[in-house]
Amino acid sequence: MAKHLLSKSTYIKSLQCQKALYLHKKRPFLRDKMSAVQLAKFRRGTAVGVLARDLFPGGIDMTPKSPSQYQAKRDETLLALQNPEITTIYEAVFQYDEVLIMLDILVREGEKWRAIEVKSSRGLSDTYRQDAFLQYYVLRGNDIPMIDFELFYINEEYVLKDQLNLQELFISESIMNQAEEALELTVIKINKAKETLQLTKSPEVPIGTHCYKPYPCDFIGHCWKNVPQNSLLYLSSEKLEQRFEWYNQGTELPSQLENKYLFEQIDALKHNTFYLNHGIFLSASDSFDLSKPTFLKLLIHQAAVPTVQGTKPYQPIVLAVCAYQPHNQVQQDFYWNNTAESPDYEGLADFLNQIWQESSCLIVYENNTLDAVIEKLTGLNPEIQWLIFNNLLQQANFMLPAIEETFEQNTLQVQIFPEGKPLKEESWLLKDLLDNPEQNSSKVNFQLLQYCKSLYRLYQYFLKPEINP
């Protein structure tokens, strides 16, 4: 059989943008670096898929060790189907119509097979369905008699008791009927992708919201390189759809101004600087006592599969905290560390209460999952004043020339202090702590201190009226 042209991931890429598919296959060197967040998602998906195998134990694993094994594993899978002693296959490899798939779990049920694809998410997106429709198409093309095709995903209401109960952790949804109904459309989409791969040059696809939806594309650096720095596309106070509408109309200034600060924001963008309504910012910060602020960075882990009794999937667990107090005569930093297996809520509440004794307010960059964490800390002093820095910025109609509508601290600090070193991404810090907490905790604490110091610097910068009159 000829080598495959498409896989699940390249097919999904083609649904987002035909040019992305072309570049991925023919010009891979133009790809942007994969972000830490994307890598973390990928690792999580694989781990959950492997865990779900325990629901169907005793299977044989067809996972190819390298792409050179795809064809051999496909042949092995077909042979395994003929062997009545084999009842379960993991990562079964199939090919049809030049499309190669690997199915998470295939279980024999009488004369038929039950196909299962596992997702680590709390729901099923359209992309997951499209990817399952493709798999169904390939299985059907291989004449696999199927009793059902199901998608498994995480039940966010599941609570871990003494032992992990996989039956309760996963929710399953049959998508066989939907896949059957979508067959004709799936074929059209496959053919379109194949046509793209026959092209001798990259298809003309203008940039658009599809560059970020459903996923940020790998080729933004390449396709967006001619977008001027002061383009309306970077007017982060407006939704991406709105910005593209203006961009495609070639409009210099939007005709409908719903946001009364838009002219100022556009002016700031033209000068490649940020916009902040400083009056609002100062009056919003006036409601806090800023005489002795403490800057905090919490490193929060959200595991798809809970590891602690009484917790749910994706429930936030604080692994480390750094508190930085610049108001003391000698600037001080304090740390609290924990493990994902035994979250010490009492210890964390005590730590924060102690920090609070020497503070007038606790400042964090963003809320993120802070509310959910605080809810768990029954011993926490209710008088603690939390200042969420990003909320103040939003209230003050802050606009940063950036593509994101809400941006991380790192994006902000790189823009405001371009000469400084970027902060190490949180996904890497989490990975370091989860992989080897003993060896990596002091290294991670040092990085958390950099987050606190960066926040302190941003705080000082924005609180000085003369900087942004």
Member of 153, 170, 219, 295 binding ligand SF4 (CB under 6 A):
219
Member of 116, 138, 151, 217 binding ligand SF4 (CB under 6 A):
217
Report the residue number, 23 or 352, with the smaller CB distance to ligand SF4.
23
DSSP H or E stretch at residue 426: helix 426-435
List the beta bridge partners of residue 106: 89, 115
Member of 4, 10, 11, 19 binding ligand SF4 (CB under 6 A):
19
Q: Are strands 316-325 and 293-302 parallel, antiparallel or unpaired?
A: antiparallel
Report the residue number, 23 or 233, with the smaller CB distance to ligand SF4.
23
CA pair distance 94, 338, nearest whole angstrom: 44
Member of 6, 12, 15, 17 binding ligand SF4 (CB under 6 A):
17
Report the residue number, 207 or 363, with the smaller CB distance to ligand SF4.
207
Q: What binding mask, one character per residue, do residues 336-355 give for ligand SF4 by CB under 6 A, x or -? A: --------------------
Residue of 365, 353, 423, 432 whose CA lies nearest to 392? 365
Report the residue number, 126 or 143, with the smaller CB distance to ligand SF4.
126
Q: Which range of residues in 87-95, 216-224, 318-326, 409-417 is near ligand SF4 by CB under 6 A?
A: 216-224
Q: Considering only residues 179 through 208, tell me which ones interact with ligand SF4, judged by CB under 6 A.
A: 205, 207
b/e code 54-63 from CB counts within 10 Å (16+ = b):
ebbeebbebe
Q: What binding mask, one character per residue, do residues 400-419 give for ligand SF4 by CB under 6 A, x or -? A: --------------------
The verdict on 30 binding ligand SF4 (CB under 6 A) reads no
CA pair distance 427, 106, nearest whole angstrom: 33
CB of 21 to ligand SF4, least distance (A): 8
The verdict on 211 binding ligand SF4 (CB under 6 A) reads yes
The verdict on 319 binding ligand SF4 (CB under 6 A) reads no
CB 247 within 8 A of CB 241: no
Report the residue number, 192 or 292, with the smaller CB distance to ligand SF4.
192
At residue 231, φ and ψ (nearest 5 deg) are -65, 150
CB of 95 to ligand SF4, least distance (A): 26
> What angle do the packed helices 18-26 and 183-198 form, to 10 degrees?
50
Report the residue number, 211 or 318, with the smaller CB distance to ligand SF4.
211
Report the residue number, 117 or 218, with the smaller CB distance to ligand SF4.
218
DSSP code for 183: H
Report the residue number, 18 or 450, with the smaller CB distance to ligand SF4.
18
Report the residue number, 219 or 244, with the smaller CB distance to ligand SF4.
219
Neighbours of 134 (CB within 10 A): 23
Q: Which range of residues in 32-40, 65-73, 219-227, 325-333 is near ligand SF4 by CB under 6 A?
A: 219-227
Residue of 385, 389, 396, 387 whose CA lies nearest to 365? 389
Q: Which range of residues in 104-112, 114-122, 218-226, 290-298 is near ligand SF4 by CB under 6 A?
A: 218-226
Q: What is the CA radius of gyration of the chain?
A: 26
Q: Which range of residues in 17-25, 147-155, 295-303, 411-419 is near ligand SF4 by CB under 6 A?
A: 17-25
Q: What binding mask, one character per residue, do residues 245-274 give for ligand SF4 by CB under 6 A, x or -? A: ------------------------------
Residue of 118, 121, 125, 64 whose CA lies nearest to 93? 64
- Which residue in this structure is represented by tokens 């400042």? 363
Chain centroid, CA 136 distance in Å: 27
Task: Classify residue 1 by burial, with Cβ atoms within 10 Å: 0-12, 13-18, 19+.
Answer: exposed
Q: Which range of residues in 148-156, 213-221, 394-402, 419-427 is near ligand SF4 by CB under 6 A?
A: 213-221
- The CB-based long-range contact list for 376-380 (8 Å cut-off, 24+ gap) reads 376/345, 377/345, 377/348, 377/349, 377/352, 378/345, 378/349, 379/345, 379/346, 379/349, 379/350, 379/353, 380/349, 380/352, 380/353
Member of 223, 233, 318, 400 binding ligand SF4 (CB under 6 A):
223
At residue 111, φ and ψ (nearest 5 deg) are -90, -5
Three-class DSSP category at 102: strand
CB of 20 to ligand SF4, least distance (A): 4
CB of 39 to ligand SF4, least distance (A): 19
Report the residue number, 141 or 214, with the smaller CB distance to ligand SF4.
214
CB of 209 to ligand SF4, least distance (A): 9
Binding site for ligand SF4 (CB under 6 A): 16-17, 19-20, 23, 205, 207, 210-211, 217, 219-220, 223
